[in-house]
Amino acid sequence: MTTTAPRGAGAAAPGRRTGTDTSGRAAIGARTLRTDRWWVQPLLTVVALVAFIVYSAFRAFQDAHYFAEPYISPFYSPCITTACEGDTFPELFTGPAFISPAIYILVVPLGFRLTCYYYRKAYYRSFWLSPPACAVAEPHRRYTGETRLPLLGQNLHRYFFYLGLVFNVVLTYDAVLAFRDETGAWGHMGLGTLVLLANAALLWLYSLSCHSCRHIVGGRLNSFSRHPLRYRFWTLASRLNAHHMRYAWVSLFGVAFADFYVLLLATDTISDLRFF
């Protein structure tokens, strides 16, 4: 017996074959029977991600105002070219003058977040509408998953995870250096110190709650009782993984805020609040 769902508001136009009306899928005429504002979440995701992309791109190509002794922006760390301001990291090479030092750096965190399992879900739904929300038909005629280019590149996530851990160590090192004053003497702490510490902590939480991290420490084990140490790590990673979405967003805004704070200091817009 074949039934046809009613066509109401949001129903597919006659003759138009949508994602759920193609061969091999359930014949549902309406795009969705949901009455709530399901489109709000994907819309907010688009706005938030586009805002971050625009801001980070502007700061990367600005190539200025990223160092205010003893603080360095996380967008420019590790600063590995001879054109870098400050001395927080060894200068490894001299790049072309027209390429901002941030360009060499942002490849890793950008690749890590682009291939992140949570972010894939977020931008697949919000930008590609695949699907836009639960129980809402997608506009695509077929689903190929991540079996073709460029989505085959999502398999690089684990390698970006490893590189991301190295960057976390560097940003933690930057936070430690933030306990120095302008003369290099230890014993200083300002609001910028706390900002860099919080940024490093949030990035660690985001990285260690990653699905790949959980699989690396406890995947492919047939018996946890034979690997008690790995089981403890897997348990901890699993607890963190339950909040991975939260850490993904908070760390994203955290790294942008850390850069913005250094920008304000470097342009003398504000003065750093000193505690001692």
* 53 and 98 part of one domain: yes
Contacts of 270 (CB under 8 A, 6+ apart): 264
* 27 and 48 part of one domain: no
Of all residues in the chain, what percent carry a pLDDT higher than 70?
A: 89
Contacts of 214 (CB under 8 A, 6+ apart): 234, 237, 238, 241
Q: pLDDT tens for residues 243-268?
A: 999 999 999 999 999 999 999 999 99
Question: Is residue 2 over pLDDT 50?
Answer: no
* 6 and 92 part of one domain: no
Question: Is residue 87 over pLDDT 90?
Answer: no
The 3-class SS string of 70-130 reads CEECHHHCCCCECCCCCCCCCCCECCCCCCCHHHHHHHHHHHHHHCCHHHHHHHHHHCCCC
Q: What total of structural domains would you count in the chain?
A: 2
Residue 95: CB atoms within 10 A of its CB come to 16
* 135 and 217 part of one domain: yes
* 180 and 163 part of one domain: yes
Residue 73: CB atoms within 10 A of its CB come to 28
Q: Which domain holds residue 231?
A: 40-266
Distance between CA atoms of 187 and 181, rounded to whole angstroms?
7
* 15 and 75 part of one domain: no
In a domain, 114, yes or no: yes
In a domain, 271, yes or no: no
| DSSP track, 146-207 | TSSTTGGGGGGHHHHHHHHHHHHHHHHHHHHHTTB-TTS-B---BHHHHHHHHHHHHHHHHH
* 2 and 50 part of one domain: no
* 121 and 243 part of one domain: yes
Residue 273 burial by CB count (10 A; 0-12/13-18/19+): exposed, middle or buried? exposed
Q: What is the pLDDT of residue 23?
A: 63
Residue 245: CB atoms within 10 A of its CB come to 14
Distance between CA atoms of 46 and 52, rounded to whole angstroms?
10
Question: Is residue 81 over pLDDT 90?
Answer: no
* 190 and 86 part of one domain: yes
* 209 and 89 part of one domain: yes
Q: What is the pLDDT of residue 32?
A: 79
Token representation of residue 14? 């006659």
In a domain, 120, yes or no: yes
* 91 and 217 part of one domain: yes
In a domain, 129, yes or no: yes
CA atoms within 13 A on the CB side of 111: 21
* 16 and 86 part of one domain: no
AA letter at 62: Q
Q: pLDDT tens for residues 100-148?
A: 999 999 999 999 999 999 999 999 999 999 888 888 888 887 777 788 8
Distance between CA atoms of 8 and 6, rounded to whole angstroms?
6
